[in-house]
Amino acid sequence: MPRAARSGGPVARVHRSSLLLIYLLLVAALAGCGRTSPVSDSAEETSSTAGPLRIGAIPDQDPEVLQRLYGTVADSLADALDVDVEYVPVTDYAAAVSLFRTGDLDLVWFGGLTGVQARLQTPGAVPIAQRDIDEEFHSVFVVNSATGLAPSDDLAPLAGLRFTYGSETSTSGRLMPAHFLTEQGVEPGGFPGGPGFSGSHDATLALVASGTYEAGVLNEQVYEARAAAGEIDPSVVRYARTPAYHDYHWLLGPGAIDRFGEDLPDRLTGYFTGLSAEDPADAEVLELFGAGSFVPTEASNYDQIERIGRDLGLVN
Amino acid sequence: MRLTDLEVRFGATTALAGVDLTVAAGERVAVVGASGAGKSTLLGVLNGSVPPTAGSVRVLGADPAGLRGPALRRLRARTGTVHQHLELVGPLRVVHNVNAGRLGTWSAARALRSLVQPQGLDDVRTALDRVGLADRMFERTDRLSGGQRQRVALARLLVQRPELVLADEPASALDPALADQALELLAGLAADRGGALLACLHDPALALRHCDRVVGLTDGRVTLDAPASALTVAGLERFYGVVR
Amino acid sequence: MTAVRTPPVAPRLRRDRRRWAWGLGGVAVLGWSLAGAGLFSGPVVNPAGVRQFGRFASAALSPAHDAEFLGVLAEATLVTVAYAALGAALAVALGAIGAVGLARTTWGRRRAGWTVSRSLLAVPRGLHEAVWGLLLLNVLGLDPWVGVLAIGIPYGAVTAKVFADLLDEVPRGGYEALLAAGAGRGSAALYGLLPSAAGGLLSYSFYRLECAVRSAVVLGLIGAGGLGYQLALSFASLRWEQVWAAVYALAALCMLADLGGRAVRRRVAAPRPAGGQAPTRDPLLTGAVVGSLALMAWSWWFLALTPATLTAGRTLDQLGYVLRAAWPPAADGDLLAAVAVAAVDTVQMSVIAIALATASALGVSGLAARRPGAGPGRWALGAGIRFALLLLRAVPPPVWALVLLFVLLPGVLPGALALGVYTLGVLGRLVAEATEEVDPRPRASLRVAGASRLGGWLYGVLPALSGPVLALALYRWEVAIRDTVLVGLLGAGGIGVLLSGRIAAFDWAAVTTVLATIVLLSLAVDLLSERTRTALR
């Protein structure tokens, strides 16, 4: 930055001083070749060193939570496994899947559907662990109070309302709700004017609060967190809760197993399931994830999600 | 029209200094002088586009610098100016450029309507006929030659029907016959409404033929003020020569 | 001189049929688009959402400013600057090379070659930077090249076209004289064409840098890092205070780039008088060029770019993976029907957006234009409007789409208005600059003859302005077609919904079909605006 800022300066004897400046910059640029990029770390990778373990997550949380969450997790994981761990931020569900496929991300906190997409596109990927709450995850349907609907288990009245999902490939904001709507005879792609895709759980809440959409569906964990913080608009009514399904889990890519050894999946599973609420450092990680503990998981837990995904044309 | 001890400065440059000039209704005054002597500035003061730095200005019984809003618009509508660079709008049809002379009296709605459905066509046609351009009425102005454009500017003045006519080199792009015709038009226009004509002219012969009084400017000061009958073409040329 | 003798035959007012046909056609298309947006069939406004909109608007007055977030923003700003600088540099380089292949000068009478080379450009040009970013992300992974190429490729194509036009517009006399004197085509162009075109080329290059800053932010939205990434994270959880802080940072960057570009353009338009015997350089222009080179070198260092990534085995593997998955394009009936419906929505959205932006831009142009010698009140008003326009274009279209969706019911309209508001930010500035270029004397002379403000503007400014404004509006129309991709979500409709849906499902064959449709649409709009311009000239 200081180098660039000074460049407007040489005015009087432009000729010689500008050549000097270019020379200095070239030197700086060459000297900087060993530098790591502020946006990625994948540039330098040799077979002699394993490089860092790059972890990431689908972006469905508060940014500052994501930053803190994965900073803490990276430190804790690095201590436990004695490898360099680095958190790589991603803003897009599809991008997280693609980067897992390309090997830019080694260990990713995926949602149920994105995990299936990533596993199918990346042969050799292994599910590592899920939270205790992910075994029994729920979504909640919300309606605007102007609809006059009272909480119920009957989803049929939603069919006539303007309705929004969250992100298109969100398990809790789209896939499973669509499945449960179908079970109750509501066409998930129906709704007056077609369903909207708000893009995030918070946007769904705001759009239902404004009345633009009369109903919507989102992740129960996010809903509870917002409710606890008193951030939910009074015009939003919690209408129904879906049955339980499997959701988020850690998925490990084959590239990392090649680099760190065949025992990496077991070591990682051991690390996550060994996190204990008794230990203060562990407790911090668990709290950030909103979990009591982590438990092992396996690919077959997501067979239902894969099937529904195929029905909805989200898994090829 | 009366100017008293008029002074105009642009920053450090003094364009006009100590100018006293009175022009009565019906007079036809030629303003002569070298380039940069202050002729255009003088016209600017009279039509209110240049504020005087000092001194007093009375035009048609009012001070343009002291008026605002509709009153100023009314005064300006009574003063007609032919500019040296014509200030026509190229992409507009001739008819609109002529009608633009009436914007001082037209409402905004009428001005807008006229752009779609030209208003007052008879007056425009008469005016263009008088300058010999009736057949070009609906042509785009930027397709005309320099001399034709100058005549469009004259036609604009004809529909404006001002009492005081100010002209800055109104004949510079015209051949001698047309130049005479143009000045006759301007003089007639001023006479119609009982007003005065004030024209900056480069051609001494033209000045003497069409005006009854000649005012000469040198470096922003009045250095000559005499009836046309007292001057000769040769004498006026000397006036230019001295300055050059 | 001859006209005096012509018998005065009173001509009749003959309307230019072609102009009227195009004009009426334009009105009809706008009416069709508004009808498609549901404006004439039921309510479109959602008054209950005013409170949510108000939260967004009032946060503008209290942007996040805690030290930690500002630190994050500062680092992000550097990334954005680096992307913009390298992206623009790549665009200018590609443009310079491409211009040779596109200029009529190169092809002479061989029209076929010229036509083919122009249509080849439709592919890089027709896809939005964000789309390029998504595609490149799948091939290059998280490499900083993604951001640089995503700006450089589409911008390069546009730049090549503009450079070629600039070269073609230079008077040919000198060039042909050199050819006649036996100079080779290359050196004849170097001496006979380039010097005359240099000013225009330089001005345009700096203009591209300003645009690249905004594009770099859009790229952040798809995960390429920088200000846009921070903005996207804050946007996803609706932290409006943080969103505004990022918007202000972006606005400041745009303003800097704008000031620099403006200084260069002004100097190019009015060069300093050369004095003395020795050849001198203009310090401002030299400083700008040297400064830009320095900025590029720093950006290269800061992003730690290595050309090796582009040819690495992994890159080729991934390219192969994507190409195999994407070919052949999907052509099943359901998809094609959906594409057709979405294409209609897209066209309607873009038409509404452009109509809104053009009308409003003309409306504020008189006040937004700088007028030398005006009083302090007028200056403050102008500066305020210019700042408002800057904010309109600093807030990315997807953010506009969501906040407008609070107060409008779902459909084409919120997306169209979001695009319209954003385009107004860009177009308002361009039209204001065009207003500054208009000869002020006709208006002044009308005012002196007593015309009102409006009358003076109608007769003295608007006629001279309509040509440039039409050209700008048509150019932005083509851009708006591509931009509909950004606001497609949220049930706003248009081809963007289809694209993001197919990308989310990793249905590459369908993505190919949708992208091909977008390219064809923008090509069609390009051809149509070319014809409109010719007809109305």
Q: State the nearest Cα–Cα gap between C16 and chain B, in angstroms.
A: 11
Q: A62: pLDDT confidence band, cut at 50, 70 and 90?
A: low
Contact residues, chain C, for B135 at CB < 8 Å: 3, 6, 8-9, 11
pLDDT in tens, B145-174: 888 888 888 888 888 888 888 888 887 777
CATH of the domain at C168: 1.10.3720.10
pLDDT in tens, C514-535: 999 999 998 888 888 888 877 7
pLDDT at A2: 36
Pair C365, C493 in one domain: yes
Pair B173, B217 in one domain: yes
Q: Which of A101-105, C187-191, C408-412 has the highest mean predicted lDDT (pLDDT)?
A: A101-105
pLDDT at B33: 82
Residue B83 lies in a domain: no
Pair B153, B181 in one domain: no
pLDDT in tens, C322-344: 888 888 888 888 889 989 988 99
Q: Do B96 and C459 touch (CB under 8 A)?
A: yes
Average the pLDDT over C374-382 and give the result: 87
pLDDT at A120: 92
Number of domains in chain B: 2
Q: C1: pLDDT confidence band, cut at 50, 70 and 90?
A: very low
Give the residue among B190, B223, B233 at the shortest CA–CA distance from B31: B223
Residue C406 lies in a domain: yes
Pair B190, B236 in one domain: yes
Average the pLDDT over C287-294 and give the result: 88
Residues spanned by the domain of C336: 332-537
Of A29, A102, A200, nearest to C301 by CB-CB distance is A29
Pair C404, C457 in one domain: yes
Residue where a domain stops, chosen among B160, B175, B191: B160
Pair B57, B123 in one domain: no
Is the per-residue pLDDT at A292 higher than 70? Answer: yes
Rounded to the nearest integer, the mean pLDDT of chain C is: 84
Residue B167 lies in a domain: yes
Pair B154, B185 in one domain: no
On whether any CB of chain B is under 8 Å from the CB of C463, the answer is yes
Residue C45 lies in a domain: no
Residue C34 lies in a domain: no
Is the per-residue pLDDT at C19 higher than 50? Answer: yes
Number of domains in chain C: 2
Pair B206, B182 in one domain: yes
Which chains are adjacent to chain A, needing at least 3 Cβ pairs under 8 Å?
Answer: C
Pair C511, C367 in one domain: yes
Q: What is the ipTM of this complex?
A: 0.80
Is the per-residue pLDDT at A26 higher than 60? Answer: no
Domains and CATH numbers, chain A: 53-134+247-311 (3.40.190.10), 138-241 (3.40.190.10)
Greater confidence (C273 vs A158) lies with A158
Pair C359, C442 in one domain: yes
pLDDT in tens, C415-428: 899 999 999 999 99
Pair C175, C72 in one domain: yes
Is the per-residue pLDDT at C3 higher than 50? Answer: no
Q: State the nearest Cα–Cα gap between C471 and chain A, in angstroms.
A: 35
Q: A36: pLDDT confidence band, cut at 50, 70 and 90?
A: low
Both structure tokens of A273: 């399931």
Pair C291, C180 in one domain: yes
Pair B108, B206 in one domain: no
Both structure tokens of C254: 């745009």
Is the per-residue pLDDT at A3 higher than 60? Answer: no
Residue where a domain stops, chosen among B160, B179, B210: B160
Residue B84 lies in a domain: no
Give the residue among A158, A170, A224 at the shortest CA–CA distance from A195: A158
Q: Do C501 and A42 touch (CB under 8 A)?
A: no
Q: Do C445 and B75 touch (CB under 8 A)?
A: no
Pair C223, C369 in one domain: no
Pair C404, C265 in one domain: no
Q: B49: pLDDT confidence band, cut at 50, 70 and 90?
A: confident
On whether any CB of chain A is under 8 Å from the CB of C44, the answer is no
Greater confidence (C195 vs A314) lies with A314
Residues spanned by the domain of B206: 2-78+162-243
Q: Do A38 and C501 touch (CB under 8 A)?
A: no
Report long-range pairs for B126-130 (Cβ below 8 Å, ≥24 apart): B126/B158, B127/B98, B127/B155, B127/B156, B127/B158, B127/B159, B128/B94, B128/B98, B128/B152, B128/B155, B129/C8, B130/B155, B130/B158, B130/B185
pLDDT at A40: 55
Q: Mutate one of C459, C462, C466 to test the B interface: name it (highest B CB count within 10 A).
A: C459
Average the pLDDT over C184-190 and give the result: 73
Pair B167, B65 in one domain: yes
Residue C265 lies in a domain: yes
Give the residue among A49, A41, A44 at the shortest CA–CA distance from A89: A41
* Rounded-to-integer distance, Cα C202 and Cα B242, Å: 48
Average the pLDDT over A118-131 and give the result: 92
Q: Do C454 and B96 touch (CB under 8 A)?
A: no
Q: Are B32 and B217 in contact (CB under 8 A)?
A: yes
Give the distance, in angstroms, between the CA of residue B241 and the centroid of all CA atoms in the same chain: 25
pTM of the shown model: 0.82
3-state DSSP percent of chain B in helix, strand and coil, to 5: 45, 25, 30
Pair C260, C337 in one domain: no
On whether any CB of chain A is under 8 Å from the CB of C71, the answer is no
Average the pLDDT over B172-192 and give the result: 83
Is the per-residue pLDDT at C2 higher than 70? Answer: no
Is the per-residue pLDDT at A15 higher than 60? Answer: no
Q: State the nearest Cα–Cα gap between A139 and chain C, in angstroms.
A: 18
Residue C452 lies in a domain: yes
Q: How many CB contacts within 8 angstroms connect chain A with chain C?
A: 236
Residue B85 lies in a domain: no
**Paired strand residues for B16:** B8
Residue B166 lies in a domain: yes
The upper half-sphere exposure of residue C332, i.e. CA atoms within 13 Å in the direction of its Cβ, equals 6
Residue C25 lies in a domain: no
Percent over 90 (pLDDT), chain C: 20
Pair B73, B171 in one domain: yes
On whether any CB of chain A is under 8 Å from the CB of C487, the answer is no
Pair B153, B225 in one domain: no
Q: Are A123 and A254 in contact (CB under 8 A)?
A: yes
Contact residues, chain B, for C14 at CB < 8 Å: 138
pLDDT at B75: 83
Pair C358, C397 in one domain: yes
Is the per-residue pLDDT at C435 higher than 70? Answer: yes
Q: Do C236 and A60 touch (CB under 8 A)?
A: yes
Pair C315, C377 in one domain: no
Q: Mutate one of B49, B60, B89 to test the C interface: name it (highest C CB count within 10 A).
A: B89
Residue C318 lies in a domain: yes
Pair B60, B178 in one domain: yes
Residue B9 lies in a domain: yes
Both structure tokens of B194: 């009982």
Pair C221, C355 in one domain: no
Q: Mutate one of B83, B88, B102, B103 to test the C interface: name it (highest C CB count within 10 A).
A: B103
Where are the strands (E) in A44-169, listed by range?
53-57, 85-87, 107-110, 126-131, 139-144, 163-165
Residue B56 lies in a domain: yes
C465 → chain B, closest CA residue: B91
Q: State the nearest Cα–Cα gap between B229 and chain C, in angstroms.
A: 31
Contact residues, chain C, for A198 at CB < 8 Å: 402, 489-490
Contact residues, chain C, for A43 at CB < 8 Å: 143, 304, 306, 309
Residue where a domain stops, chosen among B116, B138, B160: B160
Q: State the nearest Cα–Cα gap between C460 and chain B, in angstroms.
A: 6
Contact residues, chain B, for C464 at CB < 8 Å: 89-91
Is the per-residue pLDDT at C96 higher than 50? Answer: yes
CATH of the domain at B172: 3.40.50.300
